[in-house]
Amino acid sequence: MIKKEVLEALNNQINAETYSAYMYLSMAAHFEHMGLSGFAHWMKVQYQEESAHAIKFFNYVTGRGGRVMLKAVDQVPVDFDGVVDIFEKTLAHENHVTSLINNLMDISIAVSDHASQSFFKWFVDEQVEEEANVEKILATLKLINGEGNGVFMMDRELGQRVFVDPNVVA
């Protein structure tokens, strides 16, 4: 049985992952409106990843005998100031999610929930990758000042991203 403190934090994390998914879908919509289908595709893959993370947490809670308690999702941003702004907001958000994951780990350590610590390790590693990917894109966008032909080249590149569902075991 999952410990009460960990269960509460996990339910909050399911909400946070759902918010993240919705936020990335909002960013995808903004990119579609700008005519940047590759950037939109990249954000749609982010949406899929965050949705899959929410399900991964959901399945963990139910698998440990806990009850998932879904909460309302806050309004996400819908207006942005171009590609650099969106990726700056994306990096800030991923930094925030990292702090949430670290908090989950801290809680599981404090209550000696070793199974949850093992489960959270995957997310700790995932956040390192998420932040690095966004930092790389943001650095490139800043090099080209977020405009011109470089944006169109990046649009093609980002459109090639493929979603890999972490809930499917190969």
Q: What pLDDT is stored for residue 169 in this prediction?
A: 67
Answer whether 104's CB lies under 8 Å from 12's CB.
no
Q: What pLDDT is stored for residue 145 in this prediction?
A: 87
Q: What pLDDT is stored for residue 164 in this prediction?
A: 87
The domain spans of the chain are 4-158
Q: What pLDDT is stored for residue 54 in this prediction?
A: 98
Q: What pLDDT is stored for residue 167 in this prediction?
A: 86
HEC readout, the chain: CCCHHHHHHHHHHHHHHHHHHHHHHHHHHHHHHHCCHHHHHHHHHHHHHHHHHHHHHHHHHHHCCCCCCCCCCCCCCCCCCCHHHHHHHHHHHHHHHHHHHHHHHHHHHHCCCHHHHHHHHHHHHHHHHHHHHHHHHHHHHHHCCCCCHHHHHHHHHHCCCCCCCCCCCC
Residue 129 CA to residue 115 CA, distance in Å, equals 23
Residue 27, token pair as written in the block: 């960013």
Q: Please report how many Cα atoms fall inside a 13 Å half-sphere around the Cα of residue 119, on the Cβ side.
A: 20
Q: Which fold has domain 4-158?
A: Ferritin (1.20.1260)
Q: What pLDDT is stored for residue 147 in this prediction?
A: 86
Chunked into runs of 10 residues, the chain (170 residues) has average pLDDT values of: 94 98 98 97 98 97 97 96 96 98 98 96 96 97 91 93 82
